[in-house]
Amino acid sequence: MMGLTPISTLPEPTKVISLTEARNRYRPGKCQHKHMTMDEDLNTVECDDCGEKLNPVAVLKRFAFEESLWHRRGEELKKLQAALDAKVRCRCQHCGQMTRVRV
């Protein structure tokens, strides 16, 4: 086993790529671009509130992020509903029978 370096002496891997957001999504005092108009012929997106031309790829990214956020929240609500449904019955202290809880 000559020439092999033991794993414990190898340097730890370093980060090759580091991505950070250039600016915050929420900009106080500035337009949040909540209402937009898309021109399919010119492939442009314009904010209806402030009139600024928006990057269509950035708008698509924003929609995809919000859609996945709503999907995750929906899954969480389904889990909470299942947990609540499991709690609609309990054992009666007097007779020991399972009884339905009035919600």
- Say whether pLDDT at 7 is over 60: no
Going by C-alpha positions, the residue among 24, 58, 51, 55 that lies closest to residue 35 is 51
Query: pLDDT (tens digit, 9 = 90+) per residue, 36-80?
Result: 898 888 888 999 989 999 999 988 898 888 899 999 999 999 999
Confidence category of residue 32, pLDDT binned at 50, 70, 90: confident
From 33, 37, 27, select the one nearest 50 (Cα to Cα).
Answer: 33
Q: What is the pTM of this model?
A: 0.52
Query: Structural domain boundaries of the chain?
Result: 34-103
Q: What is the pLDDT of residues 11-23, one digit of tens each?
A: 666 655 555 555 5
